[in-house]
Structure 1
Amino acid sequence: MSAIRITKQFNFETGHALYGYDGKCRNVHGHSYKLSVTVIGSPINDSSHVKYGMVIDFGDLKKIVNEEIVDVFDHATVFNQNTPHVELAKELKDRGHHVLLVDYQPTSEMMVIDFASKIKARLPENIQLHSIKLQETETSFAEWYASDN
């Protein structure tokens, strides 16, 4: 059976700041992220299976990505836990804001690495993560490909 790639797209809003950066992004700011997740596998060939003809149900992929990424990062402010931004993060949390402290600089590049790890851990064994594209602006994005890693 043929290997087929399935892609599902997601949108979420996230704020962040890049501590130590020498440009404007050192300031707290946000992005309307567009996330594309592509998996690869063979369509189910068993005509008695409820998901016959599917590589993965788009709804199942949506559930995984929403639970691992979108629901966690949407309308959150993300800071590297190893920077002085933790003081700002604590103050924001104390004021009821949704704050995430991660163990990396929250760039698009590092976020796709994190997202790939989380998604791969949840996929059925017969489905592989092929790629992730995280677009932070209309003209800027980071991509992760399994073939590169």
Structure 2
Amino acid sequence: MVYLTRLEHFNAAHKLYNPNWTKAHNEAVFGLCANENWHGHNFELFVTVKGNPDPDTGFLMDVKVLSQIVNDRVIEALDHKNLNIEVPFLQGKMCTTENLAMAIWDQIVPHLPDKVHLHCIKLYETPRIYVEYFGE
């Protein structure tokens, strides 16, 4: 089994806010992340696929194809966007990094070649905070 990782970057804004709560409760739970005027992050996205290399090429998959899938299905949808408002696959979800990682997983899986499996989405919100999702 071989693991191949592609690193991508995107910038996006969001806020953490539960509309069923009061402003005071949202601020108590989410702190500055509940800012009414949003806040942004420079996200780092690691997409790791796994499988066995093709005996003819030695590749698990063509890295250009992996890059194209990630860019077409994820980066174009998220980069320089307001995650709460502008991203259809996040509508109705709390825009946490955890939920974003799971939503990214769902955008990639259907487009991978046969015999290649998505192993992990690792999403850095800041240099010190990241989420890993393994599709479980």
TM range, smaller chain: 0.7 to 0.9
Identity %, equivalent residues: 32
Instruction: Give the aligned residue type for 2:47.
Output: V
User: 1:56 & 1:106 partners in 2: Cα distance?
Assistant: 31
Gaps of 5+ in 1: 47-51, 80-88, 90-98
Instruction: Give the aligned residue type for 2:43.
Output: Y
Q: TM-score, normalised by structure 1?
A: 0.78
1 or 2 for the larger relative contact order (CA 8 Å, sep ≥6)? 2
Instruction: Give the aligned residue type for 2:55.
Output: N
Is residue 2:125 matched to residue 1:136? yes
User: 2:101 & 2:83 partners in 1: Cα distance?
Assistant: 14
Gaps of 5+ in 2: 19-25
Matches within 5 A, 1:36-115: 36-46=46-56, 52-79=57-84, 89=85, 99-101=86-88, 102-115=91-104
Instruction: Give the aligned residue type for 2:87.
Output: L
Instruction: Give the aligned residue type for 1:111.
Output: L
Aligned residues: 122
Is residue 2:3 matched to residue 1:14? no
How far the C-alpha of 1:125 sits from its partner, in A, is 1.9
CA RMSD of aligned residues (A): 1.2
1:30 counterpart residue number: 40
How far the C-alpha of 1:38 sits from its partner, in A, is 0.2
Structure 1 segments, 4+ long, off by >3 Å, are none
Q: TM-score, normalised by structure 2?
A: 0.85
